[in-house]
Chains A and B, each alone.
Chain A
Amino acid sequence: MSLTVAYGALATGIVVWFILVMKLRSKPWEATAAAAPQGTGFSVSAKRIGLWIFLAVVTSLFCLFLSAYYMRMGQHAGHGSPMAAGDWKAIRDPTILWFNTVLLILGSVTMQSARASVAKSQVDQTRVRLFAAGLLTLAFLVGQWLAWSEIRYSEFFTPLNPAVAFFYVLTFVHALHLLGGLVVWARTFARSLRKDVELIDVRLSVELTSVYWHYLLLVWLGLFAVLLST
Chain B
Amino acid sequence: MAFVAIADRDHEHALHDPQSFIRKYIWSQDHKVIAVQYALVAISIGLVALTMSVLMRLQLGFPDTFNIIAPQEYYQYITMHGMIMVIYLLTALFLGGFGNYLIPLMLGARDMVFPYLNMLSFWFYLLAVLVLVAGFFVPGGPTGAGWTLYPPQAVLPGTPGATWGIICMLASLAIFIVAFTMGGLNYVTTVLQARCRGMTFMRMPLSVWGIFMASILGLLAFPALFVSAIMMALDSLIGTSFFMPAVASMGEKTVHTGGSPLLFQHLFWFFGHPEVYIVALPAFGIVSDLLSTHARRNIFGYRMMVWAILAIGCLSFVVWAHHMYVSGMNPYFGFFFATTTLIIAVPTAIKVYNWVLTIWRGDVHLTVPMLFAIGFIFTFINGGLTGLFLGNVTVDVPLSGTYFVVAHFHMVMGVSPILVVFGAIYHWYPKITGRMFDEALGKFHFWMTFLGAYAIFLPMHYMGILGVPRRYYGYSDAIQFIPPSVHEANEWISISAMIVAATQLVFLYNLIHSYFKGPVADPNPWRATTLEWQTPQTPPKHGNWGKDLPEVHRWAYDYSVPGAPEDFIPQNVPHSDKTPVGREHGVPT
Q: Which residues of A contact B (CB under 8 A)?
A: 1, 4-5, 8-9, 11-12, 15-16, 19, 22-31, 34-35, 37-50, 53-54, 56-57, 60-61, 64-65, 68, 71-72, 75-76, 78-81, 83, 85-88, 119, 159-160, 162, 165, 169, 173, 200, 203-204, 207
Contacts and interface: CB of A to CB of B under 8 A. Distances in A.
B267 A68 contact: yes
Interface in B158-201: 181, 184-186, 188-190, 192-201
B329 A24 contact: no
B83 interface: no
A165 B234 contact: yes
Contacts of B558: 29
Nearest to B264: A68
A68 B224 CA distance: 10
Contacts of B185: 50, 53-54, 57
Contact of B241 (A22, A87, A169): A87
Nearest to B333: A78
A24 B306 contact: yes
Contacts of A203: 3, 6-7
Contact of B200 (A28, A30, A43): A28
B241 A160 contact: yes
B553 A12 contact: no
Contacts of B262: 76, 79, 81
B240 A160 contact: yes
A60 B241 contact: no
Nearest to B221: A60
A31 B7 contact: no
A87 B267 CA distance: 21
B554 A34 contact: yes
Contacts of B482: none
A79 B259 CA distance: 14
A25 B185 CA distance: 26
B444 interface: no
Contacts of B8: 43-45, 48, 204
Given A42-B193, A46-B113, A71 B260 contact: yes
A19 B327 CA distance: 37
B223 A61 contact: yes
A40 B195 contact: yes
29 contacts: A4-B270, A12-B317, A19-B310, A28-B555, A29-B298, A29-B302, A29-B555, A29-B584, A31-B584, A42-B192, A43-B8, A45-B9, A49-B192, A53-B219, A56-B219, A56-B220, A57-B181, A60-B221, A64-B267, A75-B258, A78-B333, A80-B328, A87-B241, A159-B241, A160-B239, A160-B256, A165-B242, A169-B231, A203-B7
B122 interface: no
Interface in B539-572: 551-555, 557-558
A230 B352 CA distance: 49
Interface residues of B, number: 85
B242 A162 contact: yes
A29 B585 contact: yes
B189 A207 contact: no
A162 B200 contact: no
A40 B552 CA distance: 11
Contacts of B260: 71-72, 75-76, 81
B72 interface: no
B257 interface: yes
A41 B307 contact: no
A25 B575 CA distance: 21
Given A72-B242, A80-B330, A34 B198 contact: yes
B7 A200 contact: yes
With most chain B CB atoms within 10 A of its CB, the pick from A28, A49, A169 is A28
Contact of B216 (A5, A15, A47): A15
Contacts of B3: 119, 203
Contacts of B6: 200, 203
Given A46-B194, A76-B262, A37 B551 contact: yes
A24 B196 contact: no
A20 B319 CA distance: 24
Contact of A12 (B193, B194, B302, B313): B313
Contacts of A37: 197-198, 551-553
B478 interface: no
Given A64-B267, A80-B328, 18 more contacts: A4-B224, A5-B317, A9-B317, A12-B220, A16-B310, A29-B298, A34-B554, A37-B197, A43-B5, A45-B7, A45-B10, A46-B10, A50-B185, A53-B219, A56-B219, A83-B258, A87-B241, A160-B239
B230 interface: yes
A13 to B, nearest CB: 8
Query: 5 nearest interchain CB pairs?
Result: A37-B198, A29-B585, A45-B8, A28-B555, A87-B257
Contacts of A85: 258
A68 B306 contact: no
B270 A1 contact: yes
A162 B195 contact: no
Contact of B219 (A23, A57, A159): A57
A121 B48 CA distance: 58
A163 B554 CA distance: 58
A58 B8 CA distance: 23
A139 B328 CA distance: 48
A43 B567 CA distance: 37
A65 B328 contact: no
B292 to A, nearest CB: 12
With most chain B CB atoms within 10 A of its CB, the pick from A40, A49, A56 is A40
B130 interface: no
Nearest to B117: A50
A79 B330 contact: yes
A34 B317 contact: no
A70 B310 CA distance: 30
B270 A64 contact: yes
B389 interface: no
B223 A41 contact: no
Contacts of A42: 192-193
A162 B586 contact: no
B4 interface: yes
B266 interface: yes
B226 interface: yes
Given A64-B224, A87-B257, A53 B188 contact: yes
